[in-house]
Amino acid sequence: MMRIRDWAIILGMLCVGGFEGATAAGKVADGVYFSPLNNFTVPVPNWRGLRIQDRNDDDFAIVSFLDRGDLPASLQSIATLRLTAEVEPAFLEPSRRDAAIQGFLTGFVVPQLFQKVSPQTAIVHGQFLDEGERRLYFAVVNIPEGHAFLRNPGKGKQEDSVSGLLIFHNKGFMYMARLEMKTIFNVRLDPSALSPKELESAQKSLLRIMGTMKFSD
């Protein structure tokens, strides 16, 4: 099994467009991506310049959908982690659930998956959402030099990524859906001054991605 650090490096490379042209570890059939952990499926975006990049081991998987077209769409990715029988109850009990969800973001996702590659990554927004009986956490993170395709010509480096995240639990797994908020149309997006409209747009897009996912029983 890969170590957490190995996955941190892989996720970071996916963030900045590494593994160009890599073969998908998950199955793709009839426009649908099947997770190699057999825990979910999701429709593949209908992008002309689509690239699918993914990696997995027995307990962790990540897939990223990138658009290499002339007017690229925003990066979308889904990461999923299998929970142990000892840990999962914390995500099921209402009195412990919120702390567990936030802990997954602040204690695992940010330090282990983002800061290993971009140490100055920071959470700039966070709020709980209720979708039916499901408890979700919507967050925005600023990932310095972490954009998948935008480059800063003045610095000769990647632009910072401003990514919306949706964290949730389902049937033995934790999930993180990610959407890049900075595009060629809003390169000056300021993560410290996000408007309610910008937050609502990212939130709706992430909920739409989650809504297209189908989970295994």
Give per-residue pLDDT as tens, 4-21.
444 444 444 344 333 333
Residue numbers of the domain that contains 8:
4-215
Integer Cα distance of 67 and 45 in angstroms = 9
Vertex 194 angle, CA 189 and 196, to 5°: 135
Confidence band for 151, pLDDT divided at 50, 70 and 90 = confident
Q: Supply the pLDDT for residue 8.
A: 42
Mean pLDDT across 55-80:
88
Q: Which amino acid is at 12?
A: G
CATH number assigned to the domain comprising residue 23: 3.40.1000.10
pTM of the model: 0.87
Q: Count CB atoms within 10 A of the CB of residue 194.
A: 18
Confidence band for 184, pLDDT divided at 50, 70 and 90 = confident
Integer Cα distance of 162 and 125 in angstroms = 11
Structurally, the chain folds into a number of domains equal to 1
Q: Count CB atoms within 10 A of the CB of residue 150.
A: 15
- Look at residue 192 and give its three-state secondary structure: helix
Q: How far apart are the first and last CA of the chain?
A: 25
Mean pLDDT of the chain: 87
